[in-house]
Each structure stands twice: as structure tokens, then as C-alpha cells.
Amino acid sequence: MMPSDKSVSSAPVFQFTNCWILKNHKLQREDLWVREGTILNPEKLFFDEKRLADVQLDCKGSIVAPGFIDVQINGGFGVDFATATDNVGAGISLVSGKILSHGVTSFCPTLVSSPSSVYHKVLPQISIKNGGFHGAGVLGIHLEGPFISKEKKGAHPEHCLRTFEKEAFQDLLATYGSLEGVRIVTLAPELKGSSEVIQELTKQGIRVSLGHSMANLSQAEEAVQQGATFITHLFNAMLPFHHRDPGIVGLLTSDQIPPGRQVFYSMISDGIHTNPAALRIAHRANPKGLVLVTDAIAGMGLAPGRHTLGQQVVEMDGLNSYIAGTKILSGSTARMDACVRHFKEATGCSVETALEAASLHPAQLLGIEDQKGTLDYDTDADFLLLDDSLHIRATYIAGQQVWRHNAFIL
């Protein structure tokens, strides 16, 4: 039976042909059908609407994969998201436009530990918005600190770090000013009062991540039982793995995780922050939880020199970036597509696994896998065309080409 006219869209249908689609964890030789920014089920189109495609596009043998989702990016191209200016939105827009060429279709702007005054000025200026020709979509804010361990502060300035006062959650609210638009908070679970905070944040749908922490395994397990679901840049800024108490790292194989709960963990696969052997260990221990992040700083995309990361000056030399005058690593300058390629090379994993670590897994972490991170029917048509070596040929958001490599013509 034909549906009523009201339920049938007259918008054009696009059919992407001659491609390998990442679907159900496998590359499959299928076409991709898109209308009004949504991936279509062609059978419904044929049998219910009696329609074919209005436009056919030859993908020239490309891999078609979901757009990358970066849940930890501090800035790039001279922009530091933790800098209190009167036009934070302009910086967000600049970065969101530039990272389209990296295959990133949505992201979480990340702020490192900062004075309360910075949060109060910056956070109200960051809005959740859809991606498009202007740039990648903003999914929400990642607040990395300031409720973290001084012993594992990494590149975070010690004078900005805080502990929870008697009314822990109210203290957090006072520090940030508001939780509107916040999607992830990274904290150290061993801090007194963290239990209340983790539970309250979880109730509000905010993902709690464990990081920059001296927590032992039992403290980490307790945090997960209270609602934490993520680990910030595994191995970096936490107790090193020890066979008698593996610390936060032990969550990857813990038997104390609530049934049905997946603990996700991010890794900076830039060839600097994590040795390839460590990447392999983590991936083999818990492949479904691995989330690739760039942890990119303002220097990404710029020439070597001095840049900022929140309240500190960073010295950048190639892909290496350090707090000026030290050898303390301070975020990355790697692109997401480069992180995906390095991860595949370092672990020997499949193409599908490498791509899902930057798309499906971050979507699952944020609870948006029914919208993004897959090429399932009725999801957002945010996708990439890649060559066999996983270099980006073109980036699409809502079914519209928003970037393409000069040498690739569709």
C-alpha cells in the first residue's frame, strides 16, 4: 500500500555507488542512499514509494565510513578553547571548519583545568550545534579538570587545581558556573566527595571520565559502580600498571563492572603519547571500549614554536609538544585521520576496527549511536569517503559534501 502523500518527501534521493560501506562491523559492497540528511533503507524506497534515486554518485571504489567523532580536542590552528575571550564562538567555528579535512564531523570542545572565572566566561559562549558547510558539529563540552590529582596533573597548571569542599556537587557547580551543554567531565575519583559528584553528574546524563588520577583499582571500580563510564587518555597521567594493583588501567579487565556496562577509554594514537606495544595491550584486552582522541592543542596545524594550552605556554617541535622549559607532554598536534592510520598500523587491526574506534565507539560513549557513528538506516548521513590507505577523499555532513581533497572529484 502506498503511504499517504503527507508521509512521502519530495526531496531528492542521492545514491552513492561503487563503494565499500562500513556496516555491521564489516566493509560491504553496497550502495548508500541519502535523503534530507538521513540514510535511507532502499527497500522501503522501492516498495513503499516506488522511487529510484534522483542523483547517482560514483565513489570510485572508496571506503564509506561514519564521520569521526573527537571527544577530546583542546583547540587547533591558533585557537585555545580554554582562553577567555569575548568571541569564543569564532574560535570554535574556525577549528570546526578546519577539522573537516581530518574526517571529523562532530566533536566535544575540551577545556583543561582553568580558573573559575574562565569557565564562567567561556562556557556560556559554547553552543551545541549541528555540523554543515560551516564545520563539524558541536556535541557538547568536555571539562577536563580542575578536580584532578596534583601528582598526576600533567600539563594542567597546579594553581588551577581544586578539591571538593563539603558540598561537593555544589562546589563543582560554583566552579563551572553552569553544566548546560556539558557532555563529559574528567575527574580524579580518589578525591574526597567524588562519589556524590559522579552520581549527580550521571543523573544529569553527563559522562564521567576518570583521569589525571592516583586512584587504585578498587577506587576506580567504585567510581564505575557509581556511574563513571570513561577513562581519559589511558596510561597517560595515571598510576602505571602494577601487577598487584593495576590502578585505573585494571578497569579494562575488571570483573567488578556492573553487568551490561561498557567502560570506554580514550587513547592518543599519535606515535608519541603511547608506545605501539601499549596500544596493542589495551586493544587486545578491551577492543570494544577503545576510543581514539586527538587531545589536540592550539598548535595543531601551525608551524613549530610557542603556543598556549589554557594558562600555560607550550613549546611545539614537530608532533612533540611540551610545557615550555620542561619535558612534560602537553596534548597532541596530530590529526584524527592520522591517529586512525597509526592505530591500524600499530595494532595490526582491521580497517573496520580502526574506523569504528573513531566513530562508533565515541558515539556509544555519548549514547548517540542511534544518530551518529554508524551507517544504519535512519541515522544522520555524516560520513567519509576514504581510499584504501585511509586517507580522506571527501567529508559529508547531513548528506552534503562539506570538504573534498583537490585530487578527488565525485
Q: Which residues does the annotation mark as catalytic?
A: 295
- β-sheet bridge partners, residue 404: 394
For residue 273, say whether it is annotated as part of any ligand binding site.
yes
Distances (CA, A) of 372 to 130, 133, 168, 366, 390: 12, 18, 34, 10, 20
Grid cell of 288 as nine digits? 570494544
Q: How many CB atoms lie within 10 A of CB 61?
A: 11
Q: Is 117 annotated as belonging to a binding site?
A: no
Q: Is 277 annotated as a binding residue?
A: no
The answer to whether 244 is a known ligand-binding residue is: yes
DSSP letter string, 227-287: T--EESSTTTTBPPP-SS--GGGGGGG-S-SPTT---EEEEE-SSSSS-HHHHHHHHHH-G
Q: Which residues of 354-367 are buried (b: 16+ CB within 10 A; e: fewer)?
A: bbbbbbbbbbbbbe
Classify residue 299 by its DSSP letter: T
CA distance 223 to 251: 11
275 assigned ligand-binding residue: no
Residue 155 known to bind ligand: yes
Whether 116 and 110 have beta carbons less than 8 Å apart is answered as: no
Q: Is 103 annotated as a binding residue?
A: no
Which residues contact residue 202 at a Cβ distance below 8 angstroms, ignoring those fewer than 6 apart? 208, 226, 227, 228
Q: Is 233 annotated as a binding residue?
A: yes
Per the annotation, does 243 bind a ligand? no
- The answer to the question of whether 398 is labelled as a binding residue is no
CA 122 – CA 343 distance, rounded (Å): 33
Does 120 carry a binding-site annotation?
no
Report the C-alpha gap between 358 and 355 in whole angstroms. Answer: 6
Residue 308 CA to residue 404 CA, distance in Å, equals: 30
353 pairs with which residues across the strands?
Answer: none
Q: What gap in Å lies between CA 271 and CA 346, rounded to an integer?
A: 9
Annotated binding site: 144, 155, 212, 233, 236-237, 244, 273, 329-331
Annotated binding site for Zn(2+): 144, 212, 233
Annotated binding residues for substrate, written as ranges, equal 155, 236-237, 244, 273, 329-331
